[in-house]
Amino acid sequence: MIIVSNTTPLSELAKIDRLDLLHSLFTKILIPPTVYAELTTGSHPATIAVPATTWIETRTVQQVGRIEQLLQTPGLDRGECAAIALAEELKANRLLMDERAGRKLAQMLALPTIGTIGILLLAKEEGIVSKITPLLDNLINQGTWISPNFYQQILQMAGEE
């Protein structure tokens, strides 16, 4: 299974020290160099957590012009475009992406996407975690904004309401 990730799902899961969920679900994650640079710059938890993994691999996008093409899409940054281009190039089974504009474009390109919340729900469905409520609460405590309505929807989907 080929899984490509953008920055946000990795950084969000690193914030709550649960990158392990991705390894349990997907075994290996591929990221373009731009995403690696975003993840390893600054002072957030991913700067230490991502380089410490052996299962997150950097893969160069061969069609560099495709990234430039995708950058014409309003609301997308270079990391998102590189992740989409890599997912296209590798015919990825899943693209991990949270950003709305990126997800919308990926879906238009027929790339199956899943975001951080979807990863938590999948981890529960697969029996990797027994409850996602503490994980959601931890994300919120770490500064992730989740609307009260969406929070309730997530709990309903997880059967934890």
**pLDDT band at 97, cuts 50/70/90?**
very high
Share of the chain above pLDDT 90, in %: 95
Check: CB of residue 80 under 8 Å from CB of residue 99.
yes
Q: Is the pTM of this model over 0.85?
A: yes
pLDDT for the residue numbered 134: 97
| Tokens 């992740």 sit on residue | 83
Query: What are the pLDDT digits (tens) for 107-142?
Result: 999 999 999 999 999 999 999 999 999 999 999 999
Residue 31 has pLDDT above 90, yes or no: yes
Q: What is the mean pLDDT of the chain?
A: 95
Q: List pLDDT tens digits, range 57-87.
A: 999 999 999 999 999 999 999 999 999 999 9
Where are the domains positioned within the chain?
3-117
- Predicted confidence band at 30 (pLDDT cuts at 50, 70, 90)? very high
Distance CA 69, CA 51 (A): 29
**Is 87 in contact with 108 (CB distance < 8 Å)?**
no
Residue 140 CB coordination number (10 Å): 13
Angle at 150 between CA 124 and CA 121, to 5 degrees: 10
∠ CA 145-151-156, nearest 5°, is 160
What's the DSSP call for residue 113? E
CATH topology of domain 3-117: Rossmann fold (3.40.50)
